Structure 1
Amino acid sequence: MDKHKFSDAEISGVYRAIAERRDMRHFIDKAVPAETLARLLQAAHQAGSVGLMQPWRFIRISDSDLRHAVYQLVDQERQLTAKALGERQDEFMRLKVEGILECAELLVVALPDKREQHIFGRRTLPAMDIASTACAIQNIWLAARAEGLGMGWVSLFDPEQLANLLKMPEGSQPIAILCLGHVEEFYSRPMLELENWAEPGDLEDFISENYWSA
């Protein structure tokens, strides 16, 4: 037996969290304990990052007026996205795309300024700062699911407008709004699949060997 291997129960828990993670939009009115939020943020901070640059920054939105202002920015982009979708505009507008005003905790995840000084692993792939931060977000997502909490990643916003709203320094960049909280139930399948917006692809269509296969 591999001495580094988790127990069967622990392995099952990891795969269950991955399989049952959902991009949640519906939340109930119940607070998230401070110690739970601290654990989730610590899980995020343990993510792998290129060159150990740890490019993630988390802004907890606790002010009610500021939360509403964030919501207004998202709703503005929601309207513009709907128009850009053309014939799917009405279908898109029927979707619930965020839970900003309902979730217990609202977090904005951002990249800091002065990232150009981090060259290790980014000389030819500068977007690895975004990739590293996405790993941190996924850590929160999976830990939240294990804790029985739902999380939704909202990307419908203008980065410059949100940065200005949150008084972020020049060169920084918000990349995610995270809605976190208790839910009545988790979606049985991804919500966009349930709403017939899109169908997930089969794994074999995403794998090739040695060379690219269309």
Structure 2
Amino acid sequence: MSAGFTPQEIDTVYRVIQERRDVRHFVPGPVDEAVIARLLHAAHQAPSVGYMQPWRFIRIASPAVRSAIIDLVEAERLNTAAALGARGAEFMRLKVEGIRECGALFVVALADGREAHVFGRRTLPEMDLASVACAIQNMWLASRAEGLGMGWVSLFDPEQLAQLLAMPDGARPVAVLCLGHVAQFYPRPMLEMEGWDTRRALDSLVAVNTWSNTAGK
């Protein structure tokens, strides 16, 4: 039975995955509303454990709220630098967000009431977070296919951000997503280009039957 995709279409899927980047540098300007609708639809098509669909998207339209989020991120940036010790100064030189410049800003959160969903979560309750991550990845890949950059910012205090956005008890912010136009996409992941870390060899991360029986041995 045919998979329903041409070789060229299959190649495009792998190309989008390979060229997806966590973007920090944006060209100011609005993002087309029809494109935003398509990206949110792509996110909503993500798989979710027990079909719980725990993702919630809050679009930040207010300049004042955007500014308040910037303050939260900056506070956590300083805390992270302190926690990094010897690498703190190196971290502070990195551009870690594009909230000021991006054309559209979203906060993605876990919905409240998740305790009612037991299917697939009885022993692994964190699968709600895994489901939200799948939705974010869908949006990320679709953004890249649309020629837009997207950056995932996780430098914030979740309780403070939840309070800022008047989230109900039990809801929890997961990501601040910066979306917008770019002058160009990074040829490699930015943190790799900056020398922060390198991509590990795949065969060191794949094992057979037991943890230590890796393909690289």
**Would the TM-score normalized by the shorter structure come out above 0.5?**
yes
In structure 1, what residue type is equivalent to 2:199? P
Q: Please state if 1:162 is matched with 2:161.
A: yes
The reply on whether 1:51 has 2:50 as its aligned counterpart is: yes
Q: Which residue of 2 aligns with 1:177?
A: 176
Residue 46 of structure 2 aligns to which amino acid in structure 1?
A
Please state how far the C-alpha of 1:112 moved relative to its aligned partner. Answer: 1.0
Structure 1 position 30, deviation (Å)? 2.1
What residue is the counterpart of 1:198 in the other structure? Answer: 197
> How does 1:76-95 map onto structure 2 within 5 Å?
76-95=75-94
Partner amino acid for 2:126?
A: A
Q: Which residue does the alignment assign to 1:103?
A: 102
Q: In the alignment, what sits opposite 1:18?
A: 17
How much does 1:189 deviate? 0.3
1:83-162 pair list within 5 angstroms: 83-162=82-161
- SS of equivalent to 2:124: coil
TM-score normalised by structure 2 residue count: 0.97
In 1, the alpha carbon distance for the partners of 2:12 and 2:31 equals 22
CA distance in 2 between counterparts of 1:162 and 1:63 reads: 15
The residue type paired with residue 101 of structure 1 is R
User: Could you list the per-position Cα deviations for residues 124-155 of structure 1 after superposition, in whole angstroms to 9, with x for gaps in the alignment?
Assistant: 00000000000000000000000000000000
Partners of 2:63 and 2:9 in 1: CA distance: 39
Matched position secondary structure for 2:118: coil
Deviations 1:63-107 (A, max 9, x none): 001000001000000000001100111100000000001000100
- Give secondary structure in 2 for the equivalent of 1:176: strand
SS, match of residue 179 in structure 2? strand
Structure 1 residue 8: Cα displacement = 1.1
Give 1:23 shift. Answer: 0.3
Deviations 1:34-91, CA, capped at 9 Å, x for gaps: 0000000000000000010000000000000100000100000000000110011110
Alpha-carbon distance between aligned partners in 1 of 2:11 and 2:105, rounded to the nearest angstrom: 30
CA distance in 2, matches of 1:148, 1:125: 36
Q: Percent identity?
A: 63
Distance 1:10 1:111 in 2: 33
Q: SS of 1:85's equivalent?
A: helix
Aligned length: 213
Secondary structure in structure 2 of the residue aligned to 1:95: coil
Equivalence for 1:65: 64
1-structure distance, mates of 2:187, 2:2: 35
Unaligned runs of 5+ in 2: none
Post-superposition offset of 1:5: 4.1
- TM-fit CA distance, 1:9: 1.3
